[in-house]
């Protein structure tokens, strides 16, 4: 019954349009990263450490999104894609999980549960050093990431395979 009595004045009931603030002259490419550490993050130190490693062609900015989660905003899509292609990453000896971010959801609702690792398999007989064995053994750990050139899965006396692991 109280809601039926509720009303707004003309000033209070004015609608808000966000379209002006969302129109940007340039497109941004965003990645969000979860730092798996209990230590406090120093955003400037993260930037100083990662900038020379990534060798981005254009600048990127870093913003704190929430606890141990940082937002990286790139000017070039190729710079963001290079960061994703070269993962896994670590910072100060702790794992960092990256994922694309389109800003349609709050950063604290994101789940960082899967990470891709290169796994080496040693001690196999030479006759078993083939891509099929690499995929089969990799599947026992987690889903195997398909590889373009299967010959690169075979080392001198070991196999290697990229596997997605649930780190939650």
Structure tokens that stand for 41 in this block: 């993050």
Model confidence pTM above 0.95: no
* Residues in Cβ contact with 69 at an 8 Å cutoff, skipping those fewer than 6 apart: 32, 33, 34, 35, 107, 108, 110
d(CA 161, CA 139): 10
- DSSP at 145: P
Residue 16's pLDDT band (cuts 50, 70, 90) = low
* Residues in Cβ contact with 30 at an 8 Å cutoff, skipping those fewer than 6 apart: 71, 72, 73, 74, 80, 100, 101, 102, 103
Residue 60's pLDDT band (cuts 50, 70, 90) = very high
């Amino acid at each position: 019954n109280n809601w039926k009595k509720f009303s707004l004045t003309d000033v209070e009931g004015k609608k808000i349009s966000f379209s002006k603030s969302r129109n940007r002259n340039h497109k941004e490419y965003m990645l969000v990263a979860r730092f798996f550490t209990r230590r406090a993050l120093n955003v400037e130190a993260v930037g100083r450490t990662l900038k020379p490693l990534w060798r981005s062609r254009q600048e990127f900015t870093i913003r704190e999104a929430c606890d141990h989660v940082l937002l990286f905003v790139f000017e070039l899509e190729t710079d963001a894609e290079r960061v994703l292609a070269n993962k896994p990453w670590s910072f100060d000896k702790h794992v960092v999980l990256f994922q694309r971010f389109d800003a349609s959801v709050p950063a604290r609702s994101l789940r960082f549960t899967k990470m891709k690792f290169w796994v080496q398999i040693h001690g196999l007989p030479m006759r078993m050093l083939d891509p099929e064995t690499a995929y089969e053994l990799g599947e026992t750990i987690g889903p195997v990431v398909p590889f373009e050139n299967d010959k690169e899965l075979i080392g001198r006396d070991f196999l290697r395979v990229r596997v997605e692991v649930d780190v939650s």
